[in-house]
Chain A
Amino acid sequence: MVSDLINANPVVYEKKERRVRSTPSCLDEYAAEPIDQLEIFDHLRDIKDPEHPYSLEELKVITEDAIEVDDSNSYVRVTFTPTVEHCSMATIIGLCLRVKLMRSLPTRYKVDIRIAPGSHATEAAVNKQLNDKERVAAALENPNLVDMVDECLAPTNGLAG
C-alpha cells in the first residue's frame, strides 16, 4: 500500500453500542420483518477502513442516519463521509460499501452510494464512478482491487453480517 497515508491520524470515535432489537422476532411465524436502517447499518458498520485498522463506524465514515431504506420500493441510499476531503480512498470505501450490499441484499434492491455533499474534493466524479455499473463491474475484474475490497470486508469478530 501507499507508504505515506492519506490521513495518517484519523479521529477515532467510540463504537455505538449495538442496539438490541426490542421485540423478539419469533412471536408470529409468518409476520414479515422488513429490511430497515439498522439492518443495513449492521451489514456495513464492521467494514474495515482501507488504510487503518478501524471500522467505518469507528471513523464515522458511515452512520445509521446516513442510510435511507425503502423496503417496499427496494431502494437503498448510503451516504458516506470520507475522513478528509482529498481522500483518494473514497472510491475504495464506496466500492466496499457497494460490494458488501450487493452480497447482503436481495437482488431486487437498487443501491445508491453517495459521498456526503461537501465532504470531498471530487465529489461528483466519485459519485458518478460509484454508481456506474459498468465501471463497478470493471473494477471488480481487477484482481488487486478485489483483494483490497475483500480484505476490508473480511469478518473481524464474527458479528459482521
Chain B
Amino acid sequence: MAELSELTRHIESYVDTSRSPSEQVASLRAITSLLKKNLLPIEILVREMGLYLTSTDSVIRCRGILLLAESLDCLSSKPLDTSTIHSLIIFFADRLADWKALRGALVGCLALMRRKDGVGIVTISDALAVTKSYVHNLHVQSLAQHDRMLCFELLECLLENYPDAIVSVGNEIFYAICEAVDYEKDPQCLLVAFHIVELAMRLFPDLYGPSDGIVGEIFDTLGRYFPIHFTHPKGEDVDVTRDELSRALMFAFTSTPLFEPFAIPLLLEKLSSSLPLAKIDALKYLSHCTLKYGADRMEKHAVAIWSSLRNIVFSSSQEPVLSFDCESVDGIGFSDDDIAKEALTVLEKLFMQNSVLFLNLIVNDEDINLIFDNINSYMNFSNISLQSKRKIHGVGCILATAARSTVFSCNRIFESFFPCLMNTLGISILKPSDNMSPSGKHAVSGTLNFGALYLSVIVLEACRDLTVGSAQVASFPTHETFCCMLERFSASLARDFISYVGRGNETSMADVFLGVKGLQILATFPGSFLSMPESLLEYILTALVSIITENFQGTLSWNLALKALVNVGSYIEKYHESKKEISYMVVVEKIGSLLTAAKCMMPYSRKLEAVSEVGMSGRNYMLKVVPRLEEAIFTNLSDLYVNGYMGPAENTVRLLECYTNKVLPWINNSEGFDEVLHLFVINIWNQIECCKHFSTRTEEKDIFEATMKTMKFAVSNCSETSHNAIVQKAYAVVSSCHFFSWNESAVNHVEMRGLDISHELKLSIRDRWVLSLFASVIMAIHPQTRLPDVRATLWLFMEMLLKGHVPSAQALGSLVNKFGSKANGQSTLDEAMDIIFNTSISHADSAYGISMGIGDKSTMNLADLCFGASNSRLLQINAIVGLAWIGKGLLMRGHEKVKDIVMILLECLSSKGGRHLRQDSGQENCEQDVSSSVMTYVADAFHIMMSDSEVCLSRRYHANIRPLYKQRFFSTMMPMLQALIIKSDSLFQRSVLCRALAYIMSETPLVAVLGEAKKLTPVLLDALLMFSKDNLDKDTMYSLLLLLSGILTDKSSQEVVIENAHIIINCLTRMVSYPHMMLVRETALQCLVAMSMLPHSRIYPLRTQVLQAVSRALDDPKRSVRLQAVRCRQAWSSSPVTT
C-alpha cells in the first residue's frame, strides 16, 4: 500500500503543472523504474491514473495521458502481452480525436508502434484503427511544430512498419498526406514529410484511374518546394542542411514514375531559371528521374530536354577558358563550370538509356550542323570570337559525352561527323606503305583549321576513354565501325598532328597543344581495338622525342611533349601493352642516351628532367634509365678524379641532385631495385679504390657534398642485407688508406699507448673523400648491420673527429645511436662508450695538462680534452663538437649515458671548468678570449644535440629515436641550467648559459615549455636580446620569438606576461628593428598586437614606447612588416594619435 501511495505522489507531481520540470522528470523516472522492475504492473498504473486520464480538466488530462505515454516510451524493450498493447493502442488511437490532449496520444501511439518484434507489437487491425483515427481526426497544419513533427513521425512509422494497414485504408491516405504536408515550412518536419511521400508512393505503384487526380495533387504539394531555398542562419541549432532536404525531395520526386507528367515539365521550366542553384538542382533531379522513370516515359520529353540541355551547354555562363597549359594535358583543355558539367551528366544518362533517339537529335540538330557547315570560320584560334569559342566548346562537350557513353553512340558519332572533320583537315587515307618518317612532316598538305582539329581531338579522346574503360571489361565486340574508320585515318591523322606541332611556334600555342594531345591519344588506344601498325606508334613516339631533343627552346611544346611521352609510358605500363612496350623501350633508350651524348645541344637540366620523368613513368623504364644515370655519374666522377673534369661542375651536382631527389625517392616506393642500388654503391667504392691519385679539382665543395648526400640516400634506401656487403666494401677501401693506422699487430700497441694525435696528419684529397664517404655509409646504415671491426672504426672516427673532421663525429654519433645492447656477438654500446671515453689520448702538448694536475695519468681522455687539458684550443673545440654529436646519438635513443656528456659540458660552462684555462696563465686577456670562444662552442653543443639534423640521425637514416626525448631532456636540463645561471659569477658566463638554455627551449615543443613559462620568460628575453646583437642565430631567435608569442597568447601564462610586461615590451620593441630577418620583425609586431590586449592600466605607461617603435617600423624596407606595423599601431592607439 505504501508503494501505491508513493505512486500516487509521483503521478500527482508529474501531472501538477506548477512543479518544476526537474521534479516532473524525476517522478517519471521513478515510475518507469517501478515498471521496469516489475514492481508495478502496467494495469495497476492505468487503474491508478484512471481519473487523470479521463478528467474533464484538459490540462490534467493532457498531463496524465502524456505520463502514461512517456512511461510506455521508456518500456520499449520490456515485453508486454497482446491484450495490454491492444487496449492501450485503442485508447491512444481514440485519444487522437482529443485535440486538447493530443501530445500524449501521439507520443503513446509512437511508443507502441515503434515496438520491436518479440516484445509484443501492435497488430495490423489495431494499426488500421490508428491510421483511420489519424486520417479522420488530425489536422496537422493547425498544430505547433513539435506536435507536427510527432504527427509526421507517426505517419512515417505507420508507412514503414504497417504498409498493409495503410494499403487497406486506400486513397484516403493520400488526401491526409496532402493535407498534412501542404504549407509545411519547418525543415525538420519537411525532411520527414518528403520521406512520407516517398514511402507512400512506393506503396501504391499503380494508382488506378481516378487517382490520377491524387497524383497530380500530391505532386502539386511537393513541387512547390522545388528548388529548395533554405536560408537558415548557421547559428541556429537546426541540424538539417539544404543538401539533405534537397536529396529527400529528390527521392520523393522519383519515388514513382507516375510523377513523370508533372515533374519533367517543372524541372525543364526551372532549367531556365536565373538561379544557378536551381539549375544545378534541376539537372541533378533530371538525371535521377531519367534512371527512375525509364526510357519510355522519358522519350516523350526528349526533344524538350535536349533543347534545354543544349542551350545550357552552349551558353555556359562562365567563360570557356580554353586553357592550353601543361596541367591540362590529362583532361579536356577546358575549365568547366558546374552547371554545364551537370548538364552533360544528364546527357550521358540519356544517351545510355536511349541512344538512338538522342543521337538522332544530335545528328539533326541545326546548331550543331551549322557549326560543322561553317567550320572554316574557325581556322585560327586567336581570331575566333568568344561567342564562337563557347559554341565550339559546347559542341565538343556534347559530342564527347555522346561518344563516351556507349559503343553504339560512338559509332554513330564517328559515322556522322568524322568524315566531315577529316575532310576539313584535308586528311586522306594513307596507305601503310607510305613513308612515315618524321622527316616527311613538312610535306603534309593538311589545311590549318583549329575548329576541326579541336573537335577531332575531343572526339578521339572520348573514344579512347570508352575503349580503355571497356578493355577492362573485355566483353567488347572488336572491329566496330569507329575502329575501322580510325584505322584508316590514324596514319594521316598522326602526320597532321605532327605538322600542327611543327607549325606551333609561328601560329598559336593551341595548335601545339592539340597536336601533342592528339598524338598522345593515338598512342594510347588499346591495341585490341585499334590494330595500329607498330611503325605508326614508333612514328608518333619519334616525333615526340624529336620535339624533346630539338625543340628545347620552346618551353610549352617541350613540356607538353615530355608530358605526353610520360603519359604514354604510364599508360603502357598500366595496361600491360606488351607490343607497345617494345616500341616505347626504344624511346626510353634514346632519351637515356641523351645524358652521355655530347653532341646534343640540349641544356643539361632539360636532359636530366626528360630522363628522370620518363623513367618515373614505369618500373621497367626506370630499370632502363637508372643504369644510364649511374653510368653518367660514374663517368663524371671518374673524370673528376682523374682529369679534374673538363665540363662545368654544376652538371655533376645537378646530376647527383636529380638522382638523390627525384629518382631515389621513386625507387624507394617501388620494388625490385635493391640490387641496382646495391651495385651502384659498390661501384662507387670500386671506382674510388681503383683511382689512387685525385686531381686537385676534386676539391670542389659542391660536388663533394652532393656525392656524400647521394651516398647516404642510396645506402639508406638499400635493404638490410646489402648494408653488410656495402660496409665490408667501404671498410676494405678505408683500411687500405695510409691514414688508417690500425692493424692487427698494432692493436696492443695502440691500446697500451692510447691514441696519439700529436702528428698533424695532413689528409690528401682522396683520403678526405674516402673518409667522408665511409662516414656517410656509417650514418645511413640500419642498426642491425654488422661492422667488420667496431673498435678500429671507433678509433678511426675518434682520431678524425679530434682532428676536426665533422662527418666523423656525426658517424660516431650515428654509431652510438644504433648499437644494439647485446646483438649477435657485436660489441655492445657499453664497450663502445668505454672506448670513446676512456681511451687515453696523447698529444704533443699533453705535458701542459699534466702540469695542471688533471689526474695523475700521463695521458688524457676525451673529457679532459674538453676541459682544455691540452694547450691547443682547436683540439678542445674539436673534442667538444665531437662530444655534442655523440651526445645527440645517445640523447635520441634515450640512453642514460647522455647524462655524463651533459655533466662534462656543464662542467665546461661552470666556473670550475673555466678556471683551468685562466689558471697560471700570464696573458690573462688572451686566455679569456680563448675560454670565451670555447664556451660558445659548448653552448652550441646543446644546439647540435637538440636540433633536428638533415645530415644524419633522422628517420630516413634509420636512427633510433625515442618518443618525447626532447621534452624529457628539456625537463631535466632546465632546473640544472637555471641553477647555474643563478650561481654564475660573470656576465659572460651567464650569457653562455642563457644561450645553452635558449637552444634547448627553442627546440622543445611549445606545450612542454608553456608549463614553465613563469621561470623561463626572463631567460627567454635575455637570450633574445643576446641573439639580436648579431645575425648568426637568426633561426634560433625566430623560434624563440615564436615561443614567446605562444606564451603571450596562452591563457594560463597571462599572469607571467602581466608581471613582466615591461621587459617583454622592451625586448619586443628592439626586435621590431632587428635588421637581419623579416620574419623576426613581423612576429615581434604580432606579439606587440597580442600585448595590447593586456589590462589597460598595465600597458598604458608603455604605450609611447611601443608607438615610437612601431612608427619606425612603418618605414621598414619589407612590405609585410609595414602591414603588421599598421595593424599594431591601430591596436595600440585606442584613441587617434596625431603625429
| Chain A residues close to B by CB (< 8 Å) | 21, 25-26, 29-33, 35, 39, 42-43, 99, 102-108, 137, 140, 146, 149-150, 155, 161
Contact = CB atoms under 8 A, between A and B. Distances in A.
Interface of B: 1075-1079, 1111, 1114-1115, 1117-1120, 1122-1123, 1126-1127, 1129-1130, 1133, 1136-1139
A41 to B, nearest CB: 13
Q: Count chain A CB atoms within 10 A of each CB in B1075, B1115, B1120, B1137 and give the residue with the most.
A: B1115
A161 B1115 CA distance: 15
Given A104-B1114, A107-B1111, A155-B1130, A39 B1122 contact: yes
A32 B1115 CA distance: 10
Nearest to B1031: A29
Contacts of B1075: 30
A104 B1126 contact: yes
A42 B1111 CA distance: 18
Given A102-B1138, A102-B1139, A149-B1136, A29 B1129 contact: no
A59 to B, nearest CB: 23
B1127 A99 contact: no
Interface of A: prevailing SS: loop
B1123 A105 contact: no
B1119 A137 contact: no
Contacts of B1111: 106-107
A25 B1120 CA distance: 8
A144 B493 CA distance: 77
A11 to B, nearest CB: 22
Contact of A103 (B1079, B1123, B1133): B1133
Contacts of B1129: 103-104
B1114 A105 contact: yes
Contact of B1077 (A29, A149, A155): A29
Shortest Cβ-Cβ A-B pairs, 4 listed: A106-B1115, A32-B1117, A104-B1126, A106-B1114
B1138 A33 contact: no
Contacts of A102: 1138-1139
Contact of B1115 (A30, A99, A108, A146): A108
Contacts of A107: 1111, 1114-1115, 1139
A44 B1115 CA distance: 18
Contacts of A31: 1117
A99 B1118 contact: no
Contact of A137 (B1115, B1122, B1138): B1138
A155 B1118 CA distance: 22
Contacts of B1122: 35, 39, 104
B1117 A33 contact: yes
Given A102-B1138, A103-B1126, 20 more contacts: A21-B1119, A25-B1118, A25-B1119, A29-B1076, A29-B1078, A30-B1117, A32-B1118, A42-B1123, A43-B1126, A102-B1139, A103-B1129, A104-B1114, A104-B1122, A105-B1114, A106-B1115, A107-B1111, A140-B1136, A146-B1136, A149-B1136, A161-B1126
8 contacts: A31-B1117, A33-B1119, A39-B1122, A102-B1138, A102-B1139, A103-B1130, A108-B1115, A161-B1126
B1127 A161 contact: yes
B1138 A140 contact: yes
B1046 to A, nearest CB: 21
B1128 to A, nearest CB: 11
Nearest to B1134: A150
A149 B1127 CA distance: 17
Contacts of A33: 1117-1119
A93 to B, nearest CB: 17
B35 to A, nearest CB: 58
A115 B1129 CA distance: 28
Contacts of A104: 1114, 1122, 1126, 1129
B1080 to A, nearest CB: 10
A2 to B, nearest CB: 23
A94 to B, nearest CB: 16
Contacts of B1118: 25, 32-33
Nearest to B1077: A29
Contacts of B1120: 25
A99 B1119 CA distance: 20
A160 B1117 CA distance: 20
Nearest to A108: B1115
B1077 to A, nearest CB: 6
A150 B1136 contact: yes
A108 B1138 CA distance: 14
Nearest to A100: B1126
Nearest to A35: B1122
A75 to B, nearest CB: 14
Nearest to A146: B1136
Nearest to B1127: A161
A140 B1114 CA distance: 22
A137 B1075 CA distance: 34
B816 to A, nearest CB: 37
Contacts of A21: 1119
Contacts of A30: 1075, 1117
B1056 to A, nearest CB: 28
Contacts of A137: 1138
A39 B1126 contact: no
B1136 A161 contact: no
Contacts of B1139: 102, 107
Nearest to A158: B1127
Nearest to A43: B1126
A99 B1136 contact: yes
Contacts of B1079: 26
Contacts of A39: 1119, 1122
A21 B1123 CA distance: 14
A142 to B, nearest CB: 12
B1123 A161 contact: yes
Contacts of A35: 1119, 1122
A118 B495 CA distance: 64
Q: Count chain B CB atoms within 10 A of each CB in A99, A104, A108 and give the residue with the most.
A: A104
A99 B240 CA distance: 47
A33 B844 CA distance: 57
A29 B733 CA distance: 45
Nearest to A133: B1138
Nearest to B1137: A103
Contacts of B1117: 30-33
A107 B1139 CA distance: 8
A40 to B, nearest CB: 11
Contacts of B1138: 102, 137, 140
Nearest to A140: B1138
A105 B1115 CA distance: 7
Contacts of A146: 1136
B1118 to A, nearest CB: 6
A102 B1133 CA distance: 13
A137 B1136 CA distance: 12
A104 B1130 CA distance: 9
Nearest to A38: B1119
Contacts of B1119: 21, 25, 33, 35, 39
Contacts of A105: 1114
A144 B1122 CA distance: 30
B1081 to A, nearest CB: 11
Contacts of B1127: 161
A95 to B, nearest CB: 11
Contacts of B1123: 42, 161
A16 to B, nearest CB: 18
A112 B1118 CA distance: 24
A35 to B, nearest CB: 7
A15 to B, nearest CB: 19
A103 B1110 CA distance: 11
A108 B1077 CA distance: 24
A120 B972 CA distance: 73
Nearest to B1076: A29
Q: Count chain B CB atoms within 10 A of each CB in A31, A103, A146 and give the residue with the most.
A: A103
A99 B1130 CA distance: 12
